[in-house]
A and B are shown apart, each in its own frame.
Chain A
């Protein structure tokens, strides 16, 4: 049997050595720009704010409908370490019952930029997210009465290093998340709170990359800043309830990335019966704080 631990330590050391010395904020790996995706978490620390994200999810399996309004902030404390914070407000219309409104749980996170590989347009981040108990309307809206910890690995890879013989594939990129939800309470109101495996991906085709780095096909702004994409994300219970209760959505859409602002819109298609039925929509207005305030709040706190 080969000694695993020393090799693991060596691999960890190599990752630390390879850690980016000068993170650029935004989602850059070399000449690849990764936009801030809507459904899946980004693989980079950043100084950005989504203000707001409006979501009308598909109709829930129990027939209820909802509108969500969310604000999410990402802030770098050092060039490679950042925190996140998010909160949502919900208008819930249960089937056959009066509508209720209120805030969802407070969500926070800590993130470390594990690596940025410019030549291969690869980027990776590890993080820990928390969804806090009793920070939203528990009884009326179903906000959790338990805290959930969610370790995550987020990654991105551009295909710009493909051979020149495949020019029009080079603007493609994929980003993704792999993680777990670990509730700190096994059950609430008689129902189990399962541990879950979460996985999601965003498949992007970058017109900005096509124009800047492959072939100028004559697109001009605003069209040259468009990034069509399809996002998918799933959450599969791994204990306490059957794995057949996997929930997830498929979200085709468009992101337009400007100098200071990004606008995104996606359709929401439920990927399983347990998710819901019908279609939903999400629209997001997203600000690049590092570009808006490069000499103040857009910088890592360590550089203030």
Chain B
């Protein structure tokens, strides 16, 4: 029992010793939501991550079923929202769209992901 306690204490010390840093940025949620169907075309795609992002190395694109870009290319991390990534969209026709993101957290860990959402009946 004492050895278990000692090892758990060592683990706790490890956490305490760690400087206040970021880590891998995972997608927490998105708007439109991952895999969702929305009745009307959204004006933008917004992604919320679990860690703050490095804006210069973070990007998101949106393509239609034909693989054509439908985002406006104006990717930004909004001021005061360092864990958020946003891109505007062209007017979207009903259909299925693919969001492709690559981000780098502020401690330089890269992560990436892809998901789809649907506008109208698809």
Main SS of the interface on chain B?
mixed
Cβ B3 vs Cβ A164 within 8 A: no
Cβ B109 vs Cβ A290 within 8 A: yes
Taking the closest CB of chain B, its distance from the CB of A65, in whole angstroms, is 16
| A64 close to chain B: CB less than 8 A | no
- When distances are taken between beta carbons in the complex, the residues of chain A under 8 Å from B28 are 221
Interface size on A, residues (CB 8 A): 36
| A292 close to chain B: CB less than 8 A | yes
- When distances are taken between beta carbons in the complex, the residues of chain B under 8 Å from A285 are 8, 11
Partner of B35, one of A24, A51, A214, A290: A214
B 27-44 to A, binary, CB cutoff 8 A, 1 in contact else 0 = 111100111100000000
Q: How many inter-chain contacts with C-beta < 8 Å in the A-B complex?
A: 92
Interface size on B, residues (CB 8 A): 35
| B56 close to chain A: CB less than 8 A | no
Answer whether A211 and B24 are a contact pair too, CB < 8 Å, given A52-B8, A69-B4, A287-B14: no
Cβ A49 vs Cβ B108 within 8 A: no
Partner of B34, one of A24, A211, A287, A288: A211
**Besides the known contacts A213-B115, A292-B18, A293-B21, 6 further A-B residue pairs in the complex with CB atoms under 8 A apart:** A69-B3, A216-B29, A261-B15, A287-B15, A291-B107, A292-B14
Chain A residues with a Cβ under 8 A of chain B: 24, 26, 28, 30-31, 33, 49, 51-52, 54, 69, 71, 89, 118, 164, 167, 208, 211-216, 221, 259-261, 285, 287-288, 290-295
